[in-house]
Amino acid sequence: MEKIRIAFFDAKDYDRQSFEQQNADDRFDIRFYDTLLTPDTASLAEGCQAVCAFVNDNIGPEVIDELVKRGISLVALRCAGYNNVDIQYAFERVHVVRVPAYSPYAVAEHAMALLLTSVRRIHKAFIRTRDFNFSLGGLMGFDLHGKTVGVVGTGKIGRVFINICRGFGMNVIAYDKFPAPDSGIQYVSLDEVWQNSDIISFHCPLTDENRHMVNAESIARMKKGVVLINTSRGGLIDSEALVEGIKSRHIGAACLDVYEEEANVFFHDFSGHIVEDDTLARLISMPNVIVTSHQAFLTREALGNIASTTLDNIQTFLSQGYSDNEICYKCPKLSTCVQKHERKCF
């Protein structure tokens, strides 16, 4: 049987390891490329049946046209979010599948790790003791027990984070456009989350509707000293407004695993260079801001699940003609769509 050829973009060492392990039976011919998927690099997919892309690959009209020109009918995202795909333009041109869930524990635990590191000053203590400085000045934190955490988005990751917070004795309130029935979660309006939360953590996809949901206006409605955690998508937060909120001392701390202009920065080593993004440079320089480079997903378990699901998505789609994990398109029939993923979307 002829192997399925996959053009794999934005490949990192950990990607290669996890996908090669899942491809131990040699079902696929995976061609790993370090470069991002762009209109100029789409030609690398020539002769392949599918393209595998990640969060910073911009799958817009130009890229889609280039892929279609080369006979590519399937884009397999190795992530849950798909805000980097022009879904409406993809309709009737290329099918897109994703990994809807790989390890909610990985992301939720990273969110809590960021929070604990921030409020207990663990990152500062680590640097200090490396210099044999064991003083405690400037390391005072606060108890999480009894604090109110607002969780925006109560999908699998959000609910795992809620359970972790409850384990710390925190009071949890949440907002979701589509509340989970019979979940025992106390849902409130988004404005109540802003007003009543000591800590706010974001666990929702990025859409046109919620882009920059954290802005100057919403920050003004938040408690003074609020701690913000974002392990979802950078575009949920207006970075300039965040900087101003921190400078004015209204925001007490920010824990960021994502950043809205991360595409040309994250996953790369700029330690010997000057970063040209002034907003990111200002955020990193602030003592009450922690930035990690979109690594919340980076656990052995999550990487294994991502590789397994991605390859299964490709195999299933190309052999059966459809996949349970195909993204629903913003097609003209959306209002009457009864797609149950028992066939192709188009």
Nearest to 49 by CA among 295, 301, 313, 283: 313
What is the model's pLDDT at position 329?
80
Two structure tokens written together for 209: 């509707």
Which domains, and CATH codes, for the chain?
Answer: 4-102+299-336 (3.40.50.720), 104-291 (3.40.50.720)
Provide the annotated active-site residues.
233, 262, 294
Q: Span 39-54, mean pLDDT?
A: 97
Q: Span 38-49, mean pLDDT?
A: 96
8-state DSSP, 2: P
Q: Which of 16-20, 223-227, 240-244, 328-332 bottoms out in mean pLDDT, i.e. has the lowest?
A: 328-332
Mean pLDDT score of the chain, rounded to an integer? 94
Q: Span 153-166, mean pLDDT?
A: 97
Q: Is the pLDDT of residue 73 over 60?
A: yes
Q: Span 88-94, mean pLDDT?
A: 93
Q: Is the pLDDT of residue 254 over 90?
A: yes
CA dist., res. 220 & res. 277, Å (int): 25
Percent of all residues in the chain with a pLDDT value above 90, rounded to a whole number: 87
Helices (H), the chain: 13-22, 61-69, 87-90, 104-119, 122-130, 156-167, 190-196, 216-221, 239-247, 278-285, 300-320
Q: Which of 172-186, 200-214, 318-332 bottoms out in mean pLDDT, i.e. has the lowest?
A: 318-332
Q: Is the pLDDT of residue 1 over 80?
A: no
8-state DSSP, 235: G
Two structure tokens written together for 133: 């400085």
149 or 264: which leads in pLDDT: 149
Q: Confidence band (pLDDT; 50, 70, 90) for 346?
A: confident
Q: Is the pLDDT of residue 339 over 80?
A: no
Q: Confidence band (pLDDT; 50, 70, 90) for 337?
A: low
Render 152-177 in DSSP notation, one character per residue. E--SHHHHHHHHHHHHTT-EEEEE-S
116 or 269: which leads in pLDDT: 116
